[in-house]
Each structure stands twice: as structure tokens, then as C-alpha cells.
Chain A
Amino acid sequence: MEAFFAFVCVFLALTALVASEASDILSAVISLSVFGVLMAMVFVILQAPDVALTQAVINSGLVTSFFLVAYSQTQKKSLPKQEKDPGDDI
């Protein structure tokens, strides 16, 4: 079990690093969502299931969808400027 805790903690650090360092915003958002799920696991291990439920729902459901909506509405720097079609966004 200790090994599992250590694995989760190392993976948490890794996903946090990817979320802060990734140049592609989409990978950063998805990595943050994975971070939230792992964090929920840690909360269960730390015997706080109430907080774990909140963390799982809010971080991997609501926050990810908010970030994805924001991502879909911003203009990407690397792409050439183009007229957006309102139909293909959320």
C-alpha cells in the first residue's frame, strides 16, 4: 500500500509539472484533470471521502469543461488568423 501512495504522489507531482510547463494548452488542461482525479484518490487515502467526492466532480467535471470552453473560444497563436465558424464551438 505504501508503494501505491508513493506512486500516486510521484504521479501527482508529474501531472502538476506537465500542467504548468506544457506549451500546448490542451495537454495542460487534460493533465490538470488527471491531477484532479489523483488528488481525489489521495483524499480517499487521507480518509476524507467527502472532500474526495467534491474534488472528483468539480475538478474533472466542471473545471475541465470551463477550461475547454475557454480554450475553444481563444485564438491560437500558432495557427494563421482565420474566420471562425460559430457552429463548431460549444
Chain B
Amino acid sequence: MRLRDRLHDLVLLCLCLGMGWWLWEGVAAIDDPEYIIGPAAYYLVNTAKETGAVNVVAAILFDYRGIDTLGEATVIYTTVCGVAMLFSKSKYKKSSAGLSFIARRGISFVVPFLFMYGSAIILMGHLSPGGGFQGGAVFATITILFCIVFGSSFEASRISPKTKETIESLGGLLFVFIGGVGLLAGAGFLANTAAGFPRGQVGNFLSAGTIPLLNVAVGMKVGAGLSTIFYSMVKVLDLEFNEQLTEVMDNDKN
């Protein structure tokens, strides 16, 4: 048995080291410029001209492959709905009291900066690395910090679950609505400059047509969705314990 454990460890060690070596090989090979072939070369040459976005990844996500992103957003929406439905029970009764005074003060100082960071990632998505998904995840992290440091009832009293639902649904609706504008203009669903959206000056804050708007929509969706998942799981864990306690007490009475 001990020998088998050792063997198991050895195999795992070899696997991890092998994969690390493989990764390092890939990193070492990155300098060769001849790797940019096929669609990548096309995107690098034509993205700024066609969409007005500096960030090629955002242009591909929200312009060339916009409907794929809509599908992705739908997957997240379905997940959030499923988790919220699974864990939907009546109002929870108790939440934790939160952490110490020092942790609370520290978080209060950090949160405004986090807020600005998330907003910058979303709003500058077409200029610099980032975008709706990343910024939304930062916003969800803020609410999770609130949940942990101040307790889940404080978080719910500041941003109610109903508000989160509304924000998420509004984000999804905004995405589809922007796509529908392209459809109305006769250029196809989620069309960008072809549907008459202004392309602007490449590199300006107000540029790239629909891409910043879609970033905002996805940011609303992802931020509200992820924080809803966390909140409903934490809430039901608090609740479950209380229910078990009342069940035990009922059994004792009978």
C-alpha cells in the first residue's frame, strides 16, 4: 500500500514536471514571428481598419464572433438561473457577523479602488486588455468581499438580490437589443460598422461602434450573475444549518 502511494506520487511528479517543461518550451518558442499565419494574420492587419478597436481580442469577441459571445452569455445566464432556482428558499434567518474591525476598515479603503479598476477594465475594453467579462468578475469579487468581511445580510441590505437580477436581465436585453439594431438596419444580427454605428478615431475612448456598449452589457451580466451565484450558495448554507437545527428540535418534541 505504501509502495503504491509512493508510485502514485512519483507518477504525479513526473506528470507535473513534464507539463511544466512543455510550457517552458512553448514560452521559449514564442519569439518566432513566422507563427502568425492564417486568420490571425488577417485579424492583425484588418481589425483596426474594419472595427476601429485597438484591442484585437475584443474586436473578435464582440464584432467578428459576436453571436458566439451571445451564446456564452446565455450559458452564464442559464447557470445563474439554475443555481438561483436550486437554492431558492424562503428568506435566510442568520448570517455571520463578519470579520474584525481592522479587516472592515481595510476593505473599506480598498473597495473604491477596486470599483474604479473594474469600471476601467470594462470601459476601456476596446483599447486595452480587458473587457466585459473580466471587469464583471472584478465587480463580483467586490460583492464577495462584502459577503465575507461584513456578512451576507449586510451585502443583501446594500445590493438586494432583486437589484442584481434586474441588472443581469438588463445586460442580456441590452446585448440582444444592440444586435437587433443591426438587424433593423439590414446588415445582419450584431453588425457593427456595417449597421451604421460610428467607428470613430482609432484609439479614442469613443470609438469602435458597438464594442464598448456590448462590453458594458456583458459586464452587467457577468458581475451580477457571479455575485448572485455566490450569494445564493452562501445564503442556503446558512439556512440549511438552521433548518437542520429546527428539525432536530421538532423530533425531540415528538
Instruction: Give chain A's interface residues, CB within 8 Å of chain B.
Output: 2, 5-6, 9-10, 12-14, 16-17, 20-21, 42, 45-47, 49-50, 52-54, 57-58, 61-62, 65-66, 69, 73, 84, 86-90
Contacts and interface: CB of A to CB of B under 8 A. Distances in A.
Interface in B23-81: 23-24, 26-28, 30, 55, 57-58
B148 interface: yes
Contacts of B138: 57, 61
9 contacts: A49-B129, A52-B129, A57-B134, A58-B137, A61-B137, A65-B144, A84-B241, A88-B96, A89-B238
Contacts of A16: 16, 19
Q: Chain B binding site: helix, strand, loop or mixed by DSSP?
A: helix
Contacts of B226: 62
Nearest to A10: B20
A61 B57 contact: no
Interface residue tally on B, bucketed by range: 35 or more
Q: Chain A binding site: helix, strand, loop or mixed by DSSP?
A: helix
Contacts of B17: 13
Interface string B203-245: 0000000000000000000000010001001100110011001
A9 B21 CA distance: 7
A6 B144 contact: no
A13 B134 contact: no
Contacts of A47: 30
Interface string B69-104: 000000000000000000000000010110000000
A42 B12 contact: no
Nearest to B22: A9
B23 A9 contact: yes
B195 interface: no
A61 B141 CA distance: 6
Contact of A45 (B27, B137, B141, B152): B27
Contact of A61 (B20, B28, B133, B144): B144
Given A9-B27, A46-B27, A61-B144, A53 B20 contact: no
B247 interface: no
